[in-house]
């Protein structure tokens, strides 16, 4: 056979597999089989000293260049005008509607990465450019070619320029930072730095991705709306985000914005807002541009999640397990709805790695569900000085011990901070759920009544409590009752409440489900513990160590004497959802996510956060997200709320 024919065939097959893998997220062959095709192609290329323009081998091996060439864009790339509040957005919207009452809009994510345009001629990827100043950009062809989800050839044969955002997924950044001494500060910088790197190999290693949203130029002028832009892009196998929607009223827009604002932390892509574009291109043309912005599109920006601030001081805190955590005191900043004055630095290695110093400016990020974190250094000042790691525990004064990258106080029974935090943990909502007992209360219990073990809580009398500051009759009664009423915990909550190192809520649940009774759990050997699914050796060892400690056993005995009786785990493996995996999307009428999860789990099922081929059911409520599309493409059974209610009846 003509080698060129075989090469075409291989390119076709590899491109198809690429598309299945990177765009549809649904691989149809193994990595090894894929590599075999690629190897054969590269061998033929070498033997014949011939490479097709769209060969996947061009994604690698391009040479390091000495500088980026600059070139004018064929069509200038405008920036987007911005609005920061719904009210301001409404003014813009009303203005358009007064001129064009039937306008429909495209509602899209505003991806936070680096804008790239790609020129295709005769169906072949010819040139990629950054936005630059919008008039002149930089040629980054070889860098962009390393992004595997971008097609190197497309069915459309006339000249076309497509535009999108090169991004790095948050999970990729985490992966990268885990293995790298020089951490990247955020996905936006990471993506921009990867593309604007003279060595395409560096770009490749960052595993970027790209989402497309515009066609600035098309030779045959065949696109007349934003909807058609997306159709064109999809037909030519560019990655398009499944969230895009056509909307035609402001209520819907507001609703969608609120939804995205809530969900943005949970998705793997960094978005800094949404974009609204008039769908019909005739209307767009009539509206035209200002000198910088199109008048037919607008960005609504979310309040920032990340700002810079100055580190004023660093305090070292002792956690429940003795772990020492540095906490930075920073100049107050207002970040996504709250004033922030403290941010975590995780551990001392992190401080060194991120080169954080006192009096330096740093990036602070706050996500909805986690404490603010210092991501990296922005700039040093003349007063910048190194942060010193204490050599002894700030609570008990005992020398600290280094374990891998973390530092610990190992004075388990003698460290006031650890003892207090263990009792706070014992009382917390997901543990014994003793309401009305704050950290301050435990402080008072520790100081006034020498409480050192959880069992001692049950000996407190109302008279004791009445002696404490702020404890009047009502509060005293409440706290007393809450303590006494906590004597019959579920196994899961009790295991969690003990505060065994490495045991979080999920692990406690797994253990409870497996062992069924507290006695079984307590008597389990290391070998039995590692049998439990998802229990790592280090966790098993923590459990064994915990029960080897006489004082822990004493606490358990004393709890028993005070009638603290752990319930047996009721789950006996016959639930109707046993072995079934659910994913939830959209909002349900009669259940919150937590309630629906409870209904599923209490019947033996499992709830996971993303759809895969292992998902049995997608439970879909109102306004579903991209999980819906994915479930459709994988053929996962989709059920609505009614069907769900019928199943659990």
Show which residues are catalytic.
110
Q: Binding partner of residue 111 among Zn ion, ligand AMP, none, CB under 5 to 8 Å per kind?
A: ligand AMP
Residue closer to Zn ion (CB basis): 409 or 451: 409
Q: Which of 22, 93, 125, 213 binds ligand AMP (CB under 6 A)?
A: 213
Scanning 148-156, 325-333, 396-404, 587-595 for contacts with Zn ion by CB under 5 A, the matching segment is 396-404
Q: What is the DSSP string of 270-336?
A: -EEEEEEEESBHHHHHHH-B-SSSBSSEEEEEPPPSEEEEEEEEEEEEE-TTSBEEEEEEEEEEEET
| Interacting residues with Zn ion between 409 and 438 (CB under 5 A) | 409, 411, 415
The CB-of-484 to Zn ion minimum distance in angstroms stands at 31
The CB-of-230 to ligand AMP minimum distance in angstroms stands at 10
As a whole number of angstroms, the distance between CA 568 and CA 518 comes to: 7
* Closest-CA residue to 478 (of 497, 464, 465, 487): 465
Q: What is the DSSP string of 362-411?
A: EEEE--TTS--EEEEEEE--TT-BPPPPPSB-TTT-PBPEEETTEEE---
Q: Binding partner of residue 115 among ligand AMP, Zn ion, none, CB under 5 to 8 Å per kind?
A: ligand AMP
Q: Are 138 and 129 in contact (CB under 8 A)?
A: yes
Q: Are 78 and 163 in contact (CB under 8 A)?
A: no
The CB-of-415 to Zn ion minimum distance in angstroms stands at 3
Report if residue 275 touches ligand AMP, rule: CB under 6 A: yes
Q: Which of 29, 51, 327, 396 binds Zn ion (CB under 5 A)?
A: 396
> Dihedral, CA atoms, 51, 55, 60, 64, nearest 10 degrees?
60
Scanning 104-112, 262-270, 499-507, 538-546 for contacts with ligand AMP by CB under 6 A, the matching segment is 104-112
Scanning 144-152, 158-166, 407-415, 607-615 for contacts with Zn ion by CB under 5 A, the matching segment is 407-415
Q: Binding partner of residue 275 among Zn ion, ligand AMP, none, CB under 5 to 8 Å per kind?
A: ligand AMP
Helix (H, G, I), strand (E, B) or coil at 427: helix
As a whole number of angstroms, the distance between CA 257 and CA 86 comes to: 9
Q: Which of 269, 299, 431, 498 binds ligand AMP (CB under 6 A)?
A: 299
Residue closer to ligand AMP (CB basis): 54 or 165: 165
Report if residue 117 touches Zn ion, rule: CB under 5 A: no
Q: Which of 38, 56, 162, 165 binds ligand AMP (CB under 6 A)?
A: 165
The CB-of-443 to Zn ion minimum distance in angstroms stands at 16
> Dihedral, CA atoms, 608, 610, 615, 619, nearest 10 degrees?
80
As a whole number of angstroms, the distance between CA 525 and CA 516 comes to: 15
As a whole number of angstroms, the distance between CA 286 and CA 216 comes to: 17
As a whole number of angstroms, the distance between CA 78 and CA 298 comes to: 11
In the block, residue with structure tokens 């604007």: 196
Q: Which of 28, 48, 79, 171 binds ligand AMP (CB under 6 A)?
A: 79
Number of residues that bind Zn ion (CB under 5 A): 6
Terminal Cα-to-Cα distance of the chain (whole angstroms): 64
According to DSSP, residue 435 is labeled T
Q: Which of 108, 209, 280, 599 binds ligand AMP (CB under 6 A)?
A: 108
Q: Binding partner of residue 425 among ligand AMP, Zn ion, none, CB under 5 to 8 Å per kind?
A: none
For 443, the token pair is 């402080």
Q: Which of 17, 110, 366, 493 binds ligand AMP (CB under 6 A)?
A: 110
Q: Is the dihedral of CA 40, 46, 50, 52 positive or negative?
A: positive
Report if residue 115 touches ligand AMP, rule: CB under 6 A: yes
Q: Binding partner of residue 299 among Zn ion, ligand AMP, none, CB under 5 to 8 Å per kind?
A: ligand AMP
The CB-of-110 to ligand AMP minimum distance in angstroms stands at 4
Q: Which of 96, 393, 427, 468 binds Zn ion (CB under 5 A)?
A: 393
As a whole number of angstroms, the distance between CA 576 and CA 571 comes to: 11
Q: Which residues of this chain interact with Zn ion, rule CB under 5 A?
A: 393, 395-396, 409, 411, 415
Q: Which residues of this chain interact with ligand AMP, rule CB under 6 A?
A: 79-80, 108-111, 115, 131, 165, 213, 275, 299
């Amino acid at each position: 056979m003509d080698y060129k024919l075989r090469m075409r065939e291989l390119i076709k097959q590899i491109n198809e597999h690429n598309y299945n893998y990177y765009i549809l997220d649904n691989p149809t062959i193994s990595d090894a089989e894929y590599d075999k095709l690629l190897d054969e192609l590269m061998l033929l290329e070498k033997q014949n000293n011939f490479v097709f323009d769209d060969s996947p081998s061009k994604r690698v091996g391009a040479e390091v260049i000495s500088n980026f060439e600059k070139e004018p864009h064929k069509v200038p790339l405008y920036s987007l005008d911005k609005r920061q509040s719904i009210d301001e957005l409404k003014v813009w919207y009303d203005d358009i509607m007064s001129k064009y009452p039937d306008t429909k809009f495209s509602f899209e994510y505003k991806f936070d990465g680096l804008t790239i345009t790609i020129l295709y001629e005769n169906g072949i990827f010819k040139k990629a450019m950054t936005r630059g100043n919008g008039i002149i950009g930089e040629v980054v062809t070889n860098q962009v070619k390393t992004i595997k989800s971008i097609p190197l050839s497309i069915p459309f044969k006339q000249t076309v320029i497509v535009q999108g955002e090169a991004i790095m997924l948050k999970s990729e950044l985490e992966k990268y930072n885990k293995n790298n001494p020089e951490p990247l500060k955020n996905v936006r910088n990471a993506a921009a730095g990867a593309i604007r790197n003279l060595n395409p190999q560096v770009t490749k290693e960052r595993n970027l991705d790209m989402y497309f949203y515009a066609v600035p130029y098309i030779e045959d002028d065949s696109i007349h709306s934003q909807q058609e832009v997306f159709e064109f892009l999809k037909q030519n196998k560019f990655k398009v985000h499944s969230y895009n929607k056509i909307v035609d009223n402001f209520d819907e827009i507001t609703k969608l914005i609120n939804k995205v604002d809530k969900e943005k932390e949970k998705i793997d892509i960094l978005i800094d807002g949404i974009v609204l574009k008039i769908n019909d291109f005739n209307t767009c043309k009539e509206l035209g541009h200002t000198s910088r912005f199109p008048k037919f599109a607008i960005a609504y920006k979310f309040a920032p999640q990340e700002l810079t601030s100055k580190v004023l001081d660093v305090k070292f805190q002792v956690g429940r397990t003795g772990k020492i955590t540095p906490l930075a005191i920073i100049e107050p900043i207002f970040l996504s709805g709250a004033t922030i004055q403290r941010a975590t630095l995780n551990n001392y290695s992190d401080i060194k790695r991120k080169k954080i110093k006192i009096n330096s400016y740093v990036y602070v990020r706050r996500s909805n569900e986690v404490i603010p974190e210092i991501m990296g250094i922005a700039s040093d000042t003349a007063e910048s000085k190194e942060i010193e790691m204490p050599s002894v525990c700030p609570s008990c004064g005992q020398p600290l011990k280094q374990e891998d990258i973390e530092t610990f106080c190992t004075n388990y029974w003698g460290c006031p901070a650890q003892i207090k935090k263990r009792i706070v943990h014992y009382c917390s909502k997901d543990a014994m759920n003793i309401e009305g007992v704050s950290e301050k209360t435990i402080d008072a219990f520790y100081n006034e009544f020498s409480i050192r073990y959880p069992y001692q809580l049950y000996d407190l009398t109302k008279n004791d409590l009445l002696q404490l500051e702020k404890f009047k009759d009502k509060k005293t009664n409440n706290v007393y009752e809450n303590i006494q009423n906590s004597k019959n915990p579920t196994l899961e909550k009790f295991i969690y409440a003990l505060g065994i190192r490495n045991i979080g809520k999920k692990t406690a649940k797994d253990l409870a489900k497996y062992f069924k009774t507290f006695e079984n759990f307590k008597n389990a050997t290391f070998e039995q513990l590692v049998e439990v699914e998802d229990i790592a050796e280090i966790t098993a060892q923590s459990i064994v160590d915990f029960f080897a400690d006489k004082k822990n056993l004493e606490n358990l005995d004393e709890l028993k004497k005070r009638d603290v009786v752990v319930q047996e785990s009721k789950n006996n493996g016959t639930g109707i959802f046993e072995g079934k995996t659910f994913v939830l999307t959209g909002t349900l009428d009669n259940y919150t996510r937590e309630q629906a999860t409870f209904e599923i789990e209490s019947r033996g099922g499992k709830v996971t956060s993303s759809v895969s081929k292992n998902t049995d059911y997608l439970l879909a409520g109102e306004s579903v997200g991209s999980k819906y599309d994915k479930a459709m493409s994988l053929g996962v059974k989709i059920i609505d709320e009614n069907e769900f209610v019928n199943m659990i009846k």
